[in-house]
Amino acid sequence: MAKILIIDDDETIHLICRAYFTKAGHTVETAFDGPEGLEKAAAFNPDILLLDINMPKMSGFDVAKQLKETEKTKHIPIFMMTSLKQASNIQRGYGLGIEEYITKPANVEHLKLRIEKFLEKKK
Amino acid sequence: MFDFITESRNFYDYITLAVLLLVFFNTFEILFLLYNKARVERSERKRQNLKRLASTALITATNAAELLPKPATEDEYAAYSEAVASVLDSFEGEIADRAAALITQLGIDAHYRRLARHRTWYKRGNAVDILASFRLKANKEFFLAIFRSETSSEVKYRIIYGLSRLVRDHGDILVLARLLSSLPYLTAKYTEDIFYNVITALKAAGREEEFGLFMRDTMHDESVLKMVKRDCLAACSAAVCEKGRATLLGYYAAFPGEPEILIASLRALAGIGDFSQLPAALKHPDWRVRLAALKFSHLCCTDMLPEVRAMLHDPNYHVRLNAALAFARSGDAGRAVLRAEESSDDRFAAAAAAYALSQEAL
């Protein structure tokens, strides 16, 4: 089962994703902003990272950039989950090396399946 | 002037009294601030706990309302509505349906509908904002009704925003456009957001092409401000109007002398992968259009390198600089051009090329 780190400033997202993913047997860790997320990513070494873009202190793009530039965290697959649908943002995200760009509102059940499918493929 | 005080026998008594009063007021003020801080923190904690409770109930129960205490205070209503709005913004499917049901079951919509008729305009505005975040179809008629009786423009703009999230067909867009034109133009961002919501709502309803119809109808409508047309195009760009290619091309052709519309059309077309107008835009007499076209030139094709190279000698500084940056983004061929231009006789072009190469090296 996978270790999932969620970086989002909205606690509701933490609660809902945690409930669904934990029920499926995954271990979930959460962070409310970029700096906390970077710290936890290094310590928790997740199999997948769900990342919001609009957050206090640091944007999701900056977090992704830093994760991909750091030796210890560059292997972590990033799923960006955001309400920003513009092509320029999607392009920027993929340009930083993220694996998936998911737009909100998302179906949490589908999200879980997507993550599991991705991890299965990776194996 | 104050001799009568300083010469008074009670002078030191007055001073003592003044100092004591100051001490009293300062102490009172500090105690009041501490009390208020504690009160706000307590209320925030309570609100967060309720939000958490509502989210947990939505996850665990089919009928979340049974698990939750009925809201009674303004804070409780706010906590529930924040939790629901957050779920609706982020998720769809079963959990979103449960959240939407909770709004009616706990009487949250009824509460904010009452507040939307409050005598204070900002309370009405706040209630409209919250109702808008619920995106309940049932609120469409309500929004239209309060718009008719509303006296504050501030609230009217918010009602239109709420309605923009509930658009389902061409008829709804026309109603919205009519309401929007009844008010003074607010800002480009506001109008863009309204049409962005419209496109998103239509996409969700599987009727995106109806926005294309609206855009086509308004193209030559003189009563629609050019700024509004530009904002519609900007919304198309933000929401990626995949089905609007023909209309966007039509706008580009219909307004050759309107740089802002041309720029917005170019951006929207680039967003859906159509770069057909770039060669013409790179030669446009208005530097802003040339600049906008340059921003996408590296994405489309390499056969435009001669045109872009000519722009390194453009009379406008921004165009020269962005032409150089476009080359920097165009791979080895682009960098080779920049290196050649570094020794150009045109010192402006040489400086732009050197700058772009230095940025590339960073």
Highest mean pLDDT among B52-66, B108-122, B307-321: B108-122
Length of chain A equals 123
Determine whether the interchain pair A15/B59 forms a contact, defined as Cβ–Cβ distance below 8 Å.
yes
Q: What is the mean pLDDT of residues B262-273?
A: 90
How high is the pLDDT of residue B302?
60
| DSSP state letter for A19 | H
Domain contains A14: yes
Of B342 and B33, which is predicted with more confidence? B33
CATH number at residue A33: 3.40.50.2300
What is the domain extent for residue A18?
3-118
Q: Per-residue pLDDT for A89 more than 90? A: no
CA dist., res. B214 & res. B218, Å (int): 6
| Interchain contact B6–A (C-beta under 8 A) | no
Which of A12, A103, A111 to mutate to test binding with chain B, by most B CBs within 10 Å of its CB?
A: A12
Q: Among B272, B344, B270, B278, which Cα is nearest to B312's?
A: B344
Q: Per-residue pLDDT for B153 more than 90? A: yes
Q: Per-residue pLDDT for B360 more than 70? A: no
Same domain, B309 and B229: no
Distance of CA A39 to the CA centre of its chain: 14
How high is the pLDDT of residue B326?
86
How high is the pLDDT of residue A122?
80
How high is the pLDDT of residue B253?
94
Q: What would you report as the CA-atom Rg of chain B, rounded to the nearest whole angstrom?
A: 30
| Interchain contact B89–A (C-beta under 8 A) | yes
Of A14 and A89, which is predicted with more confidence? A14
Chain A residues with CB inside 8 Å of B95's CB?
Answer: 16, 108
Q: What is the percent of chain B with per-residue pLDDT over 90, rounded to a whole number? A: 55
Alpha-carbon gap: B287 to the closest alpha carbon of chain A (Å)? 23
Domain contains A123: no
Determine whether the interchain pair B240/A87 forms a contact, defined as Cβ–Cβ distance below 8 Å.
yes
Domain contains B142: no
Determine whether the interchain pair A19/B83 forms a contact, defined as Cβ–Cβ distance below 8 Å.
no
Same domain, B171 and B270: yes
Q: Per-residue pLDDT for A114 more than 70? A: yes
Domain contains B174: yes
Domain contains A45: yes
CATH number at residue B351: 1.25.10
Domain contains B181: yes
Complex ipTM over 0.90: no
Domain contains A30: yes
**DSSP secondary structure string, B268-332?**
HHHHTT--TTHHHHHT-SSHHHHHHHHHHHHHH-STTHHHHHHGGG-SSHHHHHHHHHHHHTSHH
Q: Per-residue pLDDT for B308 more than 90? A: no
Nearest to A16 among B51, B91, B271 (CB): B91
| Torsion angle defined by CA atoms of residues B166, B268, B207 and B246, in that order, rounded to the nearest 10 degrees | 140
A82: part of which helix (H) or strand (E)? strand A78-82
The tokens describing B188, both together, are 């480009």
Determine whether the interchain pair B237/A86 forms a contact, defined as Cβ–Cβ distance below 8 Å.
yes
CA dist., res. B189 & res. B191, Å (int): 6
Alpha-carbon gap: B58 to the closest alpha carbon of chain A (Å)? 9
Of A84 and B23, which is predicted with more confidence? B23
Q: Which residue has the tokens 């030191």?
A: B12
Domain contains B96: yes
Chain B residues with CB inside 8 Å of A105's CB?
Answer: 88-92, 96
Q: Per-residue pLDDT for B303 more than 80? A: no
| Interchain contact B160–A (C-beta under 8 A) | no
How high is the pLDDT of residue B263?
95
Of B282 and B329, which is predicted with more confidence? B282
A8, A82, A92, B30, B141 from A61: Cα distances, Å: 13, 11, 8, 43, 40
CB pairs under 8 A between A and B: 65
**Mean pLDDT lowest among B35-44, B170-179, B289-298, B316-325:** B289-298
Q: Per-residue pLDDT for A27 more than 80? A: yes
What is the domain extent for residue B23?
19-136
Domain count, chain A: 1
Determine whether the interchain pair B87/A11 forms a contact, defined as Cβ–Cβ distance below 8 Å.
no
The pLDDT mean for chain B works out to 90
| Interchain contact A20–B (C-beta under 8 A) | yes
Handedness of CA B318, B323, B324, B325 (dihedral sign): positive
Q: Express each pLDDT in B198-216 by its tens digit.
A: 998 998 888 988 998 999 9
**Does a cis peptide bond (omega within 30 degrees of 0) precede residue A56?**
no
| Interchain contact B58–A (C-beta under 8 A) | yes
How high is the pLDDT of residue B205?
86
Q: Per-residue pLDDT for B304 more than 70? A: no
Same domain, B249 and B165: yes
Q: Per-residue pLDDT for B97 more than 70? A: yes
How high is the pLDDT of residue B232?
94
Q: What is the mean pLDDT of residues A100-113?
A: 90
Determine whether the interchain pair B91/A11 forms a contact, defined as Cβ–Cβ distance below 8 Å.
no
Domain contains A95: yes
Domain count, chain B: 3
Alpha-carbon gap: A54 to the closest alpha carbon of chain B (Å)? 13
Chain B residues with CB inside 8 Å of A88's CB?
Answer: 271
Q: What is the percent of chain A with per-residue pLDDT over 90, rounded to a whole number? A: 65
Chain A residues with CB inside 8 Å of B96's CB?
Answer: 105
Q: Which residue of B has its CA nearest to A21?
A: B59
Determine whether the interchain pair A106/B55 forms a contact, defined as Cβ–Cβ distance below 8 Å.
no
CA dist., res. B270 & res. B302, Å (int): 16
> Of B274, B308, B343, which marks where a domain is finished?
B274
Handedness of CA A26, A27, A31, A35 (dihedral sign): negative
**Mean pLDDT lowest among B4-8, B104-108, B136-140, B208-212:** B4-8
Chain A residues with CB inside 8 Å of B94's CB?
Answer: 109
Q: Which residue of A has its CA nearest to B235?
A: A86
Residue B152 region by backbone torsions, left for phi larger than 0, else alpha for psi between -120 and 50, else beta? beta
Q: Which residue has the tokens 């179906």?
A: A107
Q: Which residue of A has its CA nearest to B55?
A: A12
Name, in order, each residue with C-beta under 8 angstroms of B29's C-beta and a sequence gap of 6 or more. Answer: none
CB B88 within 8 A of CB B137: no
* pLDDT-based confidence at residue B194 (cuts at 50, 70, 90): very high
Same domain, B163 and B132: no
Interface of A with B in 23-82 (CB under 8 A): none
The pLDDT mean for chain A works out to 91
CB B287 within 8 A of CB B316: yes
| Interchain contact B60–A (C-beta under 8 A) | yes
Determine whether the interchain pair A16/B88 forms a contact, defined as Cβ–Cβ distance below 8 Å.
no
Chain B residues with CB inside 8 Å of A103's CB?
Answer: none
Determine whether the interchain pair B86/A86 forms a contact, defined as Cβ–Cβ distance below 8 Å.
no
Chain B residues with CB inside 8 Å of A107's CB?
Answer: 91-93
* pLDDT-based confidence at residue B65 (cuts at 50, 70, 90): confident
**Mean pLDDT lowest among B1-5, B216-220, B254-258, B348-352:** B1-5
* pLDDT-based confidence at residue B231 (cuts at 50, 70, 90): very high
Same domain, B152 and B270: yes
- Helix B287-300 with B317-328: angle, nearest 10 deg: 0
Chain A residues with CB inside 8 Å of B58's CB?
Answer: 16
Q: Where are the alpha helices (DSSP H) in chain B?
A: 3-6, 11-60, 74-90, 94-105, 108-115, 121-134, 139-149, 153-164, 170-181, 188-204, 209-219, 226-239, 245-254, 259-271, 278-282, 287-300, 305-310, 317-328, 331-341, 347-361
* pLDDT-based confidence at residue B328 (cuts at 50, 70, 90): confident
